[in-house]
Amino acid sequence: MNETLVGLVSQYSPSGQEAAAVRWLVERMKALGYDQAFIDGAGNAVGVMGSGARQVVLLGHIDTVPGEIPVRVAEGVLHGRGAVDAKGALACFVDAAAGAGAPEGWQVVVIGAVGEERDSRGAYYAAERYRPEYAIIGEPNRWERVALGYKGTAWAQITTRRGQAHTAGGGKTACEAALEVWGAIRAFADAYNAGNPRVFDQVQPTLNHWDAGEGDFEQWARLKVGVRLPPALPPAAWYDRLEQVAGGVQVERLGQSITAWTCDKNTRLVRALLAGIRGAGGSPAFVYKTGTADLNIVAPVWGCPALVYGPGDSALDHTPDEKIDLGEYGQAVQVLASALGKLMQAGR
């Protein structure tokens, strides 16, 4: 039962270095009897059960954050980088799909996507190549819980400039002006959040980097600001607000912004997962996460019922003490295999 999980975690695969883990997972899927197992054009590991026209896609990610942790099993607990985020969920997908199979007319596709911790290039590639009837995204939320929403994110660089002047003159420095902008951003977030008690519905800005310098005639200060965005405030609206709050100071948009996504709770997919949890003796619960996941990338493109599932305690994501209980992992595999069987039988 645990061979897939332990083997996958044993393949250290920080973003940009996933190739060996991808090759290992493809061979593991072949050994488990997948009808197809291959590496796609983005470098993702892909396994396919069945050949029907109706498709269920299970999308996890195979990359991790950097920081190798010695892999060991002690007292029923697996320690190692990625055990929680998110090889626990990906291995669960692989084992559950192998156990459930694919009835006539159906196809189950398991994807170990690359690059989720950086730019989600694996998910962007998959989004354009599949059109599933149902989608499950792999992230740790405990085996009894189903996640139905992830927040959006956006990045900006804010630069203030001031002409050089003697400090005795009392004029505002570029650094002071930058601090005022950051204070205005915090004030906006506090005012916005006052009417939204649930964290999932709040704006969460962070100051990630500060830099400053000067030349002969000018001084400057630069802030790198990230933000977690609720569904009610998409990135375009946030950038408009940010430019207003910054009061004419230079605002440069950075990278690829991502819009928050909330899944429909009343779907056959959700009901199948809830039934699987109850069948394994659990009490199911819904969660809405303050992070961002590949759900945000693929769900708007696929437009099908979707949710996020996976074993493990997300409080251990990215930490030096990343670990997963093997008993919980086994329960998650049982839940997902049961849910897939119910889903595809009910949909025939």
Q: Which helix (H) or strand (E) holds 3?
A: helix 3-9
Cβ within 8 Å of residue 310, ≥6 positions away: 60, 86, 88, 89, 92, 138, 139, 140, 141, 332
What number of other Cβ atoms are within 10 A of residue 286's Cβ?
A: 15
**CA separation for the pair 111, 115 (Å, rounded):** 13
Q: Which helix (H) or strand (E) holds 212?
A: strand 204-214
SS3 291: coil
If you ran DSSP here, which 8-state letter would residue 278 be given?
H
Task: Kindly list the catalytic residues.
Answer: 63, 116
SS3 225: strand
Cβ within 8 Å of residue 211, ≥6 positions away: 221, 222
Tokens of 279: 């069948």
Cβ within 8 Å of residue 207, ≥6 positions away: 182, 223, 224, 225
Whether 237 contacts 231, CB under 8 Å: no
* Contacts made by residues 67-74, CB under 8 angstroms, sequence distance 24+: 67/14, 67/318, 67/320, 68/12, 69/320, 69/322, 71/6, 71/9, 71/10, 73/2, 73/6, 73/326
How many CA atoms lie less than 13 Å away from 249 in the CB half-sphere? 27
